[in-house]
Structure 1
């Protein structure tokens, strides 16, 4: 979203993109899967500039720990999203079913807040180092037809 590190860096600070976002669990999240990062190139900038800026942010995650304030903001959003999803009978039923199928026990739903609370900046950095390696990456560029793709 607009408060994310990626959005702030590419859209607000560097202004090479009109939008930037990351999605985890693509196309699904039961089995090992993909993390999708994308950005929409701003007028006057190239897809190569956007790709370089994305790479810079991935490298930053690997080399610089996220601040405790930044992590707390993300944790707050994660907790709020989880709790909002449980605010109806249908939401609770869906979550229980989802956790049973994906994790092997519906009881894991009730551990989720503890797991979120336990995440540290070092955890983020370690996972970034394990995950964001060149051999794990596929880069796609969608170009429009015309004189200035």
Structure 2
């Protein structure tokens, strides 16, 4: 509880303008003059469509497909060979690199095994209260409310 507060003047000085300047600000020149920009990695719906296309004909839903793609991405960016390919190539050459495809397969197996081991460990510990604390720290409450509001307005 705050019981005392003291405010005192430390020093006073003039914040003068550059000599010869009038100091006036330029007003708005045209309403809506900003240019629309598309996200660097494309529209989110386009990314979701590509993820869904990967899992067409399987029983993997969109949520699990996105989760799998994000997991793979996190592991792939840490791979030194893939990092070297990214540094040595243009985006188009990188996308068609046989090294990236070969390393991707290894990364996918490793990430699947790691994910499976992590889930097994959490289920064996059965400390769901601790898991909830971690998820809340990661934004579970805010993300869940946001999704509920999005669903309510869409439906």
Q: Could you say whether these structures have the same fold, taking a TM-score greater than 0.5 normalized by the shorter chain as the test?
A: no
Bigger-Rg structure (1/2): 2
TM-score, L = length of structure 2: 0.29
TM-score, L = length of structure 1: 0.30
Q: Identify, as 1 or 2, the structure richer in strand.
A: 1
